[in-house]
Amino acid sequence: MPETLPLSEQKSLAVQDVLGAFRQTVTNRQTIGYALAAGGVQASLYGFVFSSEQVFTEIYALGNYFPLAFAAIAVGIAVAGFLNARFVGRFGMRVISHGALVGFVTVGAIMLAAVKLHTLPLPLFMALAALMMFGFGLMIANFTSLAMEPQGHIAGTASSLYGSITTLLGIGVGTTIGQHYDGTLVPFALGFFLCALASLAVVFWVEKGRLFKPHNKPV
């Protein structure tokens, strides 16, 4: 496809210019902070994906019904996308994503407590996992937009680096969670909770302790 930017706005592909754009990306508090937070919530999701077959087939003995259970839980992301599109203009990205992140941590804490108390039947697990997916759906799009907000002048380079950071972090930590599966839900529940808590701590740092504070007027 042809280049759409005017000549005056096109960026050089010289190594020093690309590295300069990388430096601007990783040294911006808002961009790198939300990239790390997004990587944390992606790690929770990947940890679930990498553990889900064993959890459903070995712990809950669903057998061939595993794909149906997995699909039912994934509906949470679709619902989140629909609701986010309707309400993000009214409430703002920070209010929605910060609320979802606090809920994400809460769900992780409830799941971990239930696992430790050996009181996590399949219906409760599926409800909590669906809420996890719902929170992920509300966070990931808004975290991406918040990370890219200061990078309009180098949006292409910044977005590619953002995608690399979040994906590598998510896969790396998520794989570690999945590899620690021991026949119980403890590794996943603990990994989910710690990833969610770490993401909340990073967002708290990015926003200097002022969560739920919109920076722009509602649309």
Predicted TM-score (pTM) of this structure: 0.88
Is 38 within the bounds of a domain?
A: yes
Domain harbouring 196, CATH code: 1.20.1250.20
State the alpha helices, DSSP H only, in the chain.
15-26, 29-54, 66-91, 93-116, 122-148, 155-179, 186-206
User: Residue 9's pLDDT is what?
Assistant: 59
Domain for residue 22, yes or no? yes
pLDDT for the residue 218: 54
Report if residue 3 sits inside a domain. no
pLDDT band, very low/low/confident/very high, at 214 (cuts 50, 70, 90) = confident
Positive or negative, the CA dihedral 155, 213, 88, 47 is: positive
Would you say residue 10 lies in a domain?
no
- Report which DSSP code applies to 36: H
More confident residue, 25 or 57: 57
% of the chain at pLDDT higher than 90: 68
Q: What is the pLDDT of residues 90-109, one digit of tens each?
A: 888 999 999 999 999 999 99
The verdict on residue 9 lying in a domain is: no
- Does residue 218 sit within a domain? no
Among residues 167, 187, 185, 186, which one has the least CA distance to residue 177? 187
Mean pLDDT of 113-130: 94
Mean pLDDT along residues 24-34: 89
Whether residue 215 lies inside any domain: the answer is no
Average pLDDT over residues 181-190: 93
Residue ranges making up the domain that contains 80: 15-206
- Residue that is written with structure tokens 């005056």 in the block: 8
pLDDT at 212: 84
Give the CA-trace dihedral at 86, 84, 96, 200, to 10 degrees: 180
Q: How confident is the model at residue 27 (pLDDT cuts 50, 70, 90)?
A: confident
Is 213 a member of any domain? no
pLDDT of 136-149, one tens digit each?
999 999 999 999 98
**CA–CA separation, 89 vs 100, rounded Å?**
16
Angle, helix 122-148 to helix 66-91, in steps of 10 degrees = 40
CB 165 within 8 A of CB 108: no
Going by the DSSP 8-state scheme, the letter that residue 198 receives in this structure is H
pLDDT range class, residue 59, cuts 50, 70, 90: very high
Number of separate domains in the chain:
1
Report the share of the chain in percent with pLDDT over 70: 89
